[in-house]
Amino acid sequence: MGKSRDLTEFERGLIVGARSAGCSISETVNRLGFSKTAVSRIYREWCVKKKTSSLRGTGGRKRLVDEVGEKRMERVVEANNRATVTEIQTMYNFSAETPISHKTTQRALKRLGYSRKPPRRDSVSRTTRKNPVPRTKQQDPVQAGGLRQQPSNNRGDPDVVQF
Protein backbone atom coordinates (compact mmCIF):
# COMPACT_ATOMS: atom_id res chain seq x y z
CA MET A 1 0.00 0.00 0.00
CA GLY A 2 1.41 3.40 -0.99
CA LYS A 3 1.82 6.50 1.09
CA SER A 4 -1.21 8.72 1.30
CA ARG A 5 -1.18 12.46 1.64
CA ASP A 6 -0.24 14.13 4.91
CA LEU A 7 -3.09 15.05 7.19
CA THR A 8 -3.69 18.75 7.62
CA GLU A 9 -3.24 20.47 10.96
CA PHE A 10 -7.02 20.68 11.27
CA GLU A 11 -7.45 16.94 10.70
CA ARG A 12 -4.71 16.19 13.22
CA GLY A 13 -6.46 18.48 15.69
CA LEU A 14 -9.72 16.61 15.15
CA ILE A 15 -8.00 13.34 16.02
CA VAL A 16 -6.37 14.76 19.15
CA GLY A 17 -9.64 16.42 20.18
CA ALA A 18 -11.69 13.26 19.74
CA ARG A 19 -9.19 11.15 21.69
CA SER A 20 -8.90 13.80 24.42
CA ALA A 21 -12.69 13.90 24.70
CA GLY A 22 -12.66 10.21 25.61
CA CYS A 23 -13.38 8.51 22.29
CA SER A 24 -11.62 5.21 21.75
CA ILE A 25 -9.40 4.61 18.75
CA SER A 26 -12.15 2.61 17.02
CA GLU A 27 -14.75 5.34 17.65
CA THR A 28 -12.37 7.98 16.32
CA VAL A 29 -11.68 5.88 13.21
CA ASN A 30 -15.40 5.38 12.57
CA ARG A 31 -16.30 9.05 13.09
CA LEU A 32 -13.43 10.67 11.20
CA GLY A 33 -12.56 8.01 8.64
CA PHE A 34 -8.80 7.83 9.20
CA SER A 35 -6.82 4.63 9.67
CA LYS A 36 -6.19 3.17 13.12
CA THR A 37 -2.46 3.55 12.58
CA ALA A 38 -2.79 7.26 11.80
CA VAL A 39 -5.06 7.89 14.79
CA SER A 40 -2.81 6.06 17.24
CA ARG A 41 0.42 7.60 15.91
CA ILE A 42 -0.90 11.16 15.90
CA TYR A 43 -2.36 10.88 19.39
CA ARG A 44 0.80 9.21 20.76
CA GLU A 45 2.95 11.94 19.18
CA TRP A 46 0.75 14.60 20.75
CA CYS A 47 0.92 12.94 24.19
CA VAL A 48 4.71 12.63 24.10
CA LYS A 49 5.85 15.74 22.20
CA LYS A 50 2.77 17.98 22.51
CA LYS A 51 2.90 18.63 18.78
CA THR A 52 0.79 17.50 15.87
CA SER A 53 2.69 18.79 12.83
CA SER A 54 4.09 16.54 10.15
CA LEU A 55 7.73 16.88 9.17
CA ARG A 56 7.48 14.99 5.88
CA GLY A 57 7.76 18.16 3.79
CA THR A 58 11.07 19.29 5.26
CA GLY A 59 13.35 16.91 3.38
CA GLY A 60 16.22 17.79 1.13
CA ARG A 61 19.46 19.65 1.45
CA LYS A 62 19.65 22.69 3.69
CA ARG A 63 20.16 26.00 1.94
CA LEU A 64 23.61 27.51 1.97
CA VAL A 65 22.08 30.99 2.08
CA ASP A 66 19.49 30.73 4.85
CA GLU A 67 17.43 33.59 6.34
CA VAL A 68 20.42 35.05 8.18
CA GLY A 69 22.50 34.76 5.01
CA GLU A 70 19.78 36.46 2.98
CA LYS A 71 19.80 39.41 5.39
CA ARG A 72 23.60 39.58 5.12
CA MET A 73 23.39 39.49 1.32
CA GLU A 74 20.78 42.28 1.32
CA ARG A 75 23.12 44.43 3.41
CA VAL A 76 25.96 43.74 0.97
CA VAL A 77 23.78 44.70 -1.99
CA GLU A 78 22.42 47.83 -0.28
CA ALA A 79 25.94 48.95 0.62
CA ASN A 80 27.03 48.70 -3.01
CA ASN A 81 24.03 48.51 -5.31
CA ARG A 82 26.12 48.79 -8.50
CA ALA A 83 28.26 45.74 -7.67
CA THR A 84 28.47 42.77 -9.99
CA VAL A 85 27.52 39.25 -8.90
CA THR A 86 31.21 38.36 -8.53
CA GLU A 87 31.82 41.37 -6.27
CA ILE A 88 28.76 40.54 -4.17
CA GLN A 89 29.96 36.93 -3.90
CA THR A 90 33.41 38.08 -2.77
CA MET A 91 32.00 40.45 -0.14
CA TYR A 92 29.55 37.79 1.10
CA ASN A 93 32.23 35.09 1.32
CA PHE A 94 34.50 37.44 3.29
CA SER A 95 32.13 37.30 6.27
CA ALA A 96 30.41 33.93 5.73
CA GLU A 97 31.28 30.65 7.43
CA THR A 98 30.74 28.60 4.29
CA PRO A 99 31.69 30.18 0.95
CA ILE A 100 29.12 30.15 -1.82
CA SER A 101 29.58 29.85 -5.57
CA HIS A 102 28.75 32.31 -8.31
CA LYS A 103 25.61 30.35 -9.27
CA THR A 104 24.41 30.18 -5.64
CA THR A 105 24.86 33.94 -5.39
CA GLN A 106 22.78 34.42 -8.54
CA ARG A 107 20.06 32.11 -7.20
CA ALA A 108 19.94 33.90 -3.85
CA LEU A 109 19.78 37.33 -5.49
CA LYS A 110 16.93 36.18 -7.72
CA ARG A 111 15.07 34.77 -4.70
CA LEU A 112 15.52 38.13 -2.94
CA GLY A 113 14.00 39.94 -5.90
CA TYR A 114 17.12 41.46 -7.40
CA SER A 115 17.44 41.30 -11.16
CA ARG A 116 19.59 42.91 -13.80
CA LYS A 117 16.51 43.70 -15.85
CA PRO A 118 15.35 47.29 -15.33
CA PRO A 119 11.82 47.79 -14.05
CA ARG A 120 9.18 47.89 -16.76
CA ARG A 121 8.23 51.29 -18.06
CA ASP A 122 4.80 52.50 -18.90
CA SER A 123 3.45 51.03 -22.11
CA VAL A 124 2.52 54.51 -23.33
CA SER A 125 5.29 55.87 -25.53
CA ARG A 126 6.36 59.50 -25.75
CA THR A 127 4.73 60.00 -29.14
CA THR A 128 1.43 58.64 -27.85
CA ARG A 129 1.60 60.98 -24.86
CA LYS A 130 2.23 63.97 -27.14
CA ASN A 131 -0.39 62.95 -29.71
CA PRO A 132 -3.08 60.96 -27.91
CA VAL A 133 -5.29 58.74 -30.03
CA PRO A 134 -8.82 60.15 -30.14
CA ARG A 135 -11.39 57.91 -28.47
CA THR A 136 -14.49 56.67 -30.15
CA LYS A 137 -17.84 56.97 -28.49
CA GLN A 138 -17.73 53.33 -27.34
CA GLN A 139 -14.25 53.68 -25.80
CA ASP A 140 -15.03 56.87 -23.89
CA PRO A 141 -16.41 55.82 -20.47
CA VAL A 142 -18.30 59.10 -19.99
CA GLN A 143 -20.15 58.86 -23.31
CA ALA A 144 -20.69 55.10 -23.00
CA GLY A 145 -22.42 55.61 -19.66
CA GLY A 146 -19.69 54.04 -17.51
CA LEU A 147 -18.96 57.18 -15.51
CA ARG A 148 -21.67 59.65 -14.77
CA GLN A 149 -21.20 63.33 -14.29
CA GLN A 150 -22.17 64.58 -10.89
CA PRO A 151 -23.68 68.02 -10.58
CA SER A 152 -20.97 70.52 -9.89
CA ASN A 153 -20.91 72.80 -6.91
CA ASN A 154 -19.41 75.63 -8.99
CA ARG A 155 -22.44 77.73 -9.60
CA GLY A 156 -20.98 80.16 -12.12
CA ASP A 157 -18.58 77.98 -14.17
CA PRO A 158 -20.42 75.47 -16.42
CA ASP A 159 -17.16 74.23 -18.01
CA VAL A 160 -15.90 72.59 -14.78
CA VAL A 161 -17.19 69.04 -14.39
CA GLN A 162 -16.40 66.91 -11.34
CA PHE A 163 -16.15 63.14 -11.57
pLDDT, tens digit, 9 for 90 and up, residues 67-98:
899 999 999 999 988 899 999 999 999 988 88
Backbone dihedral angles phi then psi of residue 150, each to the nearest 5 degrees: -95, 150
Provide the pLDDT for residue 29.
92
Residues 6+ apart with CB under 8 A from 28: 15, 18, 19, 34, 39
pTM, full prediction? 0.42
Q: Could you give the CA distance from residue 31 to residue 25 in angstroms, rounded to a whole number?
A: 10
Give the Cα separation of 9 and 30 in Å (integer): 19
What is the model's pLDDT at position 3?
Answer: 64
Cα separation, 87 vs 74, in Å, equals: 13
The more confident residue out of 162 and 32 is 32
Lowest mean pLDDT among 16-20, 109-113, 136-140: 136-140
